[in-house]
Structure 1
Amino acid sequence: MEIITVRHGKTAFTEKDVFEECFNKNPLTKEGVRYSKELGAFLKDYGITAIFSSPLARAMETAKHISSITKLPVQTEQLLTEICYGSWEGKTKSRLKGTREWKDREADKYNYTHPGKNPEGKPGESYSDAEKRIRALLKKLNKESGKIALVCHIGIVRVARRIIENITEKEAADFWLSPDEIYIVKMNGETKAGIVKFRQSSI
């Protein structure tokens, strides 16, 4: 069994470096749509057998473009929802840098619980909070077979890497997956994981 973890396409918030994590109404930009279609073509050639997506709109839109090319249905998976940044959602990182809260976060980014609630009333989370549900998801997927694509978010990829590769909390929190990269995990006996570049130029 293989897990192919990919990020959603760009939104306007992504380009502005805004904490958008649980915002659910941000459509993909033209670049984001193009990326999703290119990703779909790659995944079709790679031979994926199933698509699971975070329920957030930007991930679902990405997954639907992949689905239109691969002809595979999209299965919504709540456990893939990005971590909630609480009252920080909708704010730019540049606005928050230099604040006491930001310094607290930088001191222990993986375990920092983001303050307050988001506009939908959901309380802020930490990466360690998300780790609990991603462990549950991986256990669930371990019963599957084939090549499974997970359309999700950078925070979820960070947590998945920590669990799968047993990297440190700091390594996980600092990890970055570029738009032209995907994270592939092969779980046939011995687990092997790595980053694959699926296009030559990033958007």
Structure 2
Amino acid sequence: MGKTKQVSLAVNGGIGFGAKLKPKQLIALGQYLDEDQEIELTTFQQLIIKVDEGKAEEATARLNDAGFSVYPVGPYVKSLRTCNFCKGAEEEGMPVAVELNRRIAGQKVPFTLRPAYTGCPNACGEPLINDIGVIKRDERYELYIGGKAVGEDAQAGILLKNCLEPDDLYDLVDKVLNVYRHHGRKRERMAKFVSRYGLDQIKKDVGI
């Protein structure tokens, strides 16, 4: 009898005050893991697990019920990485982070894309060294693109636009992802795309 095909799922405990899990989430997760199975913890606050292909839909539903968010693994937008918020949900923009993640996580893109958000200019969530970065400054938001944390060509993200209201931020991120999706090459990271395609052209395409 052949070995059952397995699929990978990216499991995230939700957008909140740092990377935290509840006991009921761990119990739900354990139902789909063998006792010796390894779980990969990524830098993006995701757990990568493997489940039998035939159980993937059921596992996704039950993990969602336990409070997890479940995403595909591969060339998709990762769940939003956040900092450990310091001063409370409203002041640090938690509702905006949650809504931004809801809109973009899991979208298909040319290459795995890592977005990050921080609730103040201290930038603890490292938005400047990720593909898309958002910083809350006072009551508005700054959007950076093309950051890269590793390699000889590591670089900080480029400010695309500042003083954004939440709805303007959501709209602009959607437009940037759409440009990247249509003009990015297969397996081309956002940083390389920005360099090749050009910041001025991106601004023109998104209408700024």
Give the TM-score normalised by the residue count of structure 1: 0.29
Q: Structure 2 length as normaliser, TM-score?
A: 0.29
Q: Name which one, 1 or 2, has greater alpha-carbon Rg.
A: 2
Higher share in strand: 2
More helix by share: 1
Greater relative contact order (Cα 8 A, min sep 6): structure 1 or 2?
A: 1
